[in-house]
């Protein structure tokens, strides 16, 4: 055994063993295999210039110090990747809170156009406009000439507390809706916000999976930390949300 050890040490003489151990440690961390990690202070890591058996001990110590460093470095990277992944996907939840009682960073209303290409606030939007914004939503529609054309979007600042903003997103006429486009356009505006929550108000005919998937994809670099689906979303919406999240991650 002794001649084999001496031959191995001669081969490794002059190599930087701590970096070698660091690479081994990184591999071990990725494979989730525990590696012993004692800490030793070495004067000349990897320099094999003493008696064979003492050199073998120095070799193993250097290798183990490097392995410990590799494990630590790789686990730090895994932690950072995990945090980035969690931020990359906002939390999405269904809530039964009435839109007029909800508060948060922004509420999104999806509006259709009538036969004359006039944007319609709908039952929920009209009530919210009356009790929460004192007619500001309808005024925004009138002042901007908003026709609810697919992909059009505007954001209205309402207050510094409670319900802070209202976002209106055009769907076009009944039957012309593109929910993927609606979700991505809503996300373009919501991504300007820093944290908080956004509420997506239910409307008849909503396609939850397409809407949520597009919204999450557009919010990966910033925006609300939580998306709340407000109102009476259709049966199966919970499963649709999970499918959308799985597709984005």
DSSP symbols for 23-76: HHHHHHHHTT----------SSTT---S-HHHHHHHHHHHHHHHHHHHHHHHHH
pLDDT along the chain (249 residues), means of 10: 57 50 52 45 45 52 53 56 54 92 95 95 94 94 95 94 95 95 97 95 95 96 94 94 93
Q: How much is the pLDDT for 223? A: 95
Q: How much is the pLDDT for 71? A: 52
pTM, to two decimals: 0.66
Distance CA 42, CA 52 (A): 17
CB of 46 closer than 8 Å to CB of 62: yes
Q: How much is the pLDDT for 1? A: 56
Distance CA 43, CA 205 (A): 72
Looking at the DSSP assignment, which residues form a beta bridge with residue 217? Answer: none
Q: How much is the pLDDT for 123? A: 92
Q: How much is the pLDDT for 78? A: 57
Dihedral sign for Cα atoms in the order 152, 189, 165, 100: positive
How many residues comprise the chain?
249
Cα 195 from chain centroid (whole Å)? 12
Q: How much is the pLDDT for 38? A: 43
CB of 191 closer than 8 Å to CB of 221: yes
Q: How much is the pLDDT for 167? A: 97
């Amino acid at each position: 055994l002794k001649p084999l050890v001496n031959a191995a040490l001669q081969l490794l003489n002059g190599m930087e063993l701590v970096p070698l151990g660091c690479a081994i440690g990184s591999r071990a961390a990725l494979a989730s295999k525990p590696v012993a990690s004692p800490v030793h202070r070495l004067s000349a890591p990897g320099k094999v210039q003493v008696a064979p058996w003492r050199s073998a001990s120095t070799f193993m110590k250097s290798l183990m110090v490097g392995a410990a460093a590799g494990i630590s470095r790789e686990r730090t990277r895994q932690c950072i990747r995990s945090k980035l992944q969690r931020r990359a996907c906002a939390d999405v939840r269904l809530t039964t809170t009435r839109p007029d009682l909800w508060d948060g960073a922004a509420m999104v209303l999806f509006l259709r156009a009538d036969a004359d290409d006039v944007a319609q606030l709908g039952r929920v939007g009209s009530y919210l406009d009356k009790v929460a914004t004192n007619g500001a939503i309808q005024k925004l529609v009138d002042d901007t000439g908003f026709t609810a054309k697919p992909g059009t979007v505007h954001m209205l600042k309402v207050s510094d507390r409670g319900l802070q903003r209202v976002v209106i997103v055009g769907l076009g006429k009944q039957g012309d809706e593109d929910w993927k486009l609606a979700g991505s356009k809503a996300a373009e505006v919501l991504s300007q916000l820093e944290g908080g929550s956004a509420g997506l108000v239910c409307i008849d005919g909503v396609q939850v999976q397409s809407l949520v998937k597009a919204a999450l994809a557009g919010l990966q670099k910033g925006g609300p930390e939580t998306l709340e689906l407000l109102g009476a979303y259709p049966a199966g919406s919970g499963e649709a949300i999970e499918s959308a999240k799985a597709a984005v991650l």
